[in-house]
Amino acid sequence: MQSATNAASASGRRAKLRGVLTVVALLAPLGSQAAEPQTGALLWPAPSPELKLQYSDDVETVFDLTYATVSGYRPLTLDLYRVKGISAPRPAVIYIHGGGFAGGTSRMAAPLWGSLDKLAAHIAAQGYVVASINYRLSSEAKFPAQLQDAKAAVRWLRANAQRYGVDPKRIAVWGESVGGSVAALIGTTCGVADLEGTSGNSDQSSCVQAVVDWYGVTDMSQLDAQAPPNATLVHNTPDSTQSQVLGCVLHFQCPASVVNRANPIAYIDPKTSAGAFLILHGDNDTAVSWKQSQILHDALQAKGIVAQFELLQGVNHNFVGATEDQGKHILDVTLRFLADHLGH
């Protein structure tokens, strides 16, 4: 009986692995150094000193464009992806990586997609200009620096819309894990002056038209209370992601006002919110309970804001454990949401 159980378990793991590999294969692989792009009426930066690479589906990227400088910190950079030769402004997607505010980059590994650059290239192939951003981590600066950096990226993209072929009236933010939290914050804090920061292009808006939040934290104060029995993280500790980015121990030291300032759910108002939200979460997430997504969805709908929430069966944080069909569904739902609310 034990042997049969082990064999079934191994078979299940192999099926899930095949699903992951198949989804990765759907995304554009890294190509060779690109020739000078054909840009038509739209401008594109010179290939030097930025690293320019060519992906399949005629998607090219320029890595490490500086979108903001903050005195005393490293330059804040992004990678820009788009299809070659586009002749009309396109909607844009700003992608915000995860990593617990302690690590991660715009091209970090991603369980289902292989790496974020492959995912970004796949999104761009659907007709979007994609900016995958880096931002200050918790070891460099405390909240709201991470949100202010991401808002600066939105403003930079609008200020450079003509150069990069972006329609400034059609911008979405998309993030996973803590990147999902930042995306949701951008989506609920349109026009909140003290969260804008001073990183340039102050004449531009950081408001967005749509938000994609993959398994982000929405109310830090409820994290441990909502945690499932098999939770792998305790958040009310000095070393937790939340305590590190806030600069105080969650629950024990942090004033409620400090915690609330970092919660997307605290700002929900039709006057300050994006037009639509898509929220995806696994029901077996042992790092951030799916209830964090449920309460955001419910609060948005209570204020009359368009919000779509999908709970993925058997899926953990980072979509670990997703089957092939679930991986396809995640991408299909997300891209359909963007098409519905941004066009392409």
Render pLDDT for 113-140 as a digit per residue (tens, 0 to 9).
Answer: 888 999 999 999 999 999 999 999 999 9
Render pLDDT for 159-187 as a digit per residue (tens, 0 to 9).
Answer: 999 999 999 999 999 999 999 999 999 99
Give the H or E element holding residue 209: none
Joined together, the tokens standing for residue 69 give: 């400088």
pLDDT of amino acid 87: 83
- Nearest one of 233, 215, 212, 213 to 224, comparing CA atoms: 233
Give the start-to-end residue ranges of the domains of the chain: 2-342
Instruction: Assign domain 2-342 to its CATH architecture.
Output: 3-Layer(aba) Sandwich (3.40)
pLDDT of amino acid 39: 30
Asked whether the predicted pLDDT for residue 86 surpasses 90, the reply is: no
Q: What is the DSSP letter of 168?
A: E
Angle formed at CA 136 by CA 134 and CA 138, multiple of 5 degrees: 130
pLDDT of amino acid 11: 46
Q: Is the peptide bond before 270 cis (omega within 30 degrees of 0)?
A: no
Joined together, the tokens standing for residue 105 give: 């980059």
Query: Could you tell me the sign of the dihedral formed by the alpha carbons of 225, 267, 100, 214, in that order?
Result: positive
